Amino acid sequence: MYLNLDNQSKFSAFLKKRNYAVLLVFASILFHSNSFGQCPGPGPCAPGTFDPAFEQIDPSSIAGAVFCSGQTRTFTIGVGPGTTNEAATGDLEYITLYFDFDCDGVFEYSVNDSCSYVNPGGCNVDLSVTAPTVTVPTTYNARAHLVYNTPTTDPCAALTWGDIEDFTITVNLPPVPVLISSDTDNTICDGDSVTFTAGGGDEYEFFVNGSSVQSLSTTNTYTTSGLSDGDSVTVTALDTSNGCDTPSSPISMTVLDPTLTTQPVDQTSFAGSNVVFSVAASDVDTYQWQVSTDGGTTFSDIFNGPEYSGTGTANLTVNSVDVNKNNYRYRALVTNSSASCPYETSMAAILTVRVRTVVTNRRITHRVKKN
């Protein structure tokens, strides 16, 4: 580490002021800003004596151990035959792992578990280890104790039967995954195709609701048209250089399916009355009523005015119908504007208009004028 000063005379004057406290603070900052400078730290206590005659740690199961910052992984430790004999089937073999995660030369973090020995061969102990959070790749001292029948609690203790292995672990930085969808507000219509694009790693595995839908590969996109409302999409990004992977934050999808649940029904009314046609729908925020004056061959949009009201709602009112509207057909188009879903079209309902009549005591029937 070098200190660059443009003006050597200013630096000399600074020293003459004998402001050593400031220099010490500055040196301390430089030292602690580099994790490689403080880890693995001073050597821990020397391992105690041990006798590996009946069982030994498989050194290949702990060599080159790699962890990821802040993550928990399963550490599988192999137990095999000893130097001159082999443990009996059913013997309990305890593995304790000790770690110096604060790099002060003292093992302060430990985990342990056991396996039942199988003769010939051995057994494996699976230990869950949570790595410290680092800002740069960092190496730490570690020690493994293998003891027959009883676990150890002292990393410096001597063992009667068993094995001791000192090793190091490296804690690497995991990737920081990025996941975006081709739909900016993550709101789509049922059946729409959407593409998810990932970044931050070398390989990617995509998941929907926690289940893998695209296996780990270098492909960083996933396209689907089969999502349901509320589905959660995530990706796990892998850094192939250090073996670390990280799941992304989920993208929760809103999938709209505008659906008519109640169709309009035919209406019969006397001239001059108001008539209401109604529909019911789900996932809908937009309505447009239409009329056909040619028996259902063609339909045209209608709008609020003297003849109609509610043309943009679930309930259309035909105001003060007249006989000219007899056999008119009315239908509703519904959709959801949030995702520009296709319109769902209702069945057409027929309006039948009857004229009012007056029967006199002279047995003469008079039609009442429309309206």
Give the pLDDT confidence of 148-178 residue by residue, as tens digits.
999 999 999 999 999 999 999 999 999 999 9
Question: Are the beta carbons of 363 and 341 closer than 8 angstroms?
Answer: no
Which CATH number is 55-172 given?
Answer: 2.60.40.10
- State the architecture of 259-357 in CATH terms: Sandwich (2.60)
Give the homologous superfamily in CATH for domain 178-255: Immunoglobulins (2.60.40.10)
Helix or strand run (H / E) with residue 92:
strand 92-99
| Predicted local distance difference test score (pLDDT) of residue 41 | 78
| CA torsion angle 99 132 237 249 (round to 10) | 140
Q: Which of 285, 294, 310, 281 is nearest to 302 (CA)?
A: 310
Express as a percent the part of the chain with pLDDT over 90. 80
Q: What is the mean pLDDT of the chain?
A: 88
Distances (CA, A) of 348 to 240, 279, 297, 309: 61, 11, 11, 18
Radius of gyration of the chain (CA): 39
Q: Could you tell me where in the chain the CATH 2.60.40.10 domains are found?
A: 55-172, 178-255, 259-357
Give the pLDDT confidence of 29-70 residue by residue, as tens digits.
333 333 333 588 788 899 999 999 999 999 999 988 889 999
Residue 369 pLDDT greater than 60, yes or no: no
Report the distance separating Cα 188 and Cα 254, nearest Å: 6
3-state secondary structure of 59: helix
Residue 266 pLDDT greater than 70, yes or no: yes
Residue 8 pLDDT greater than 60, yes or no: no
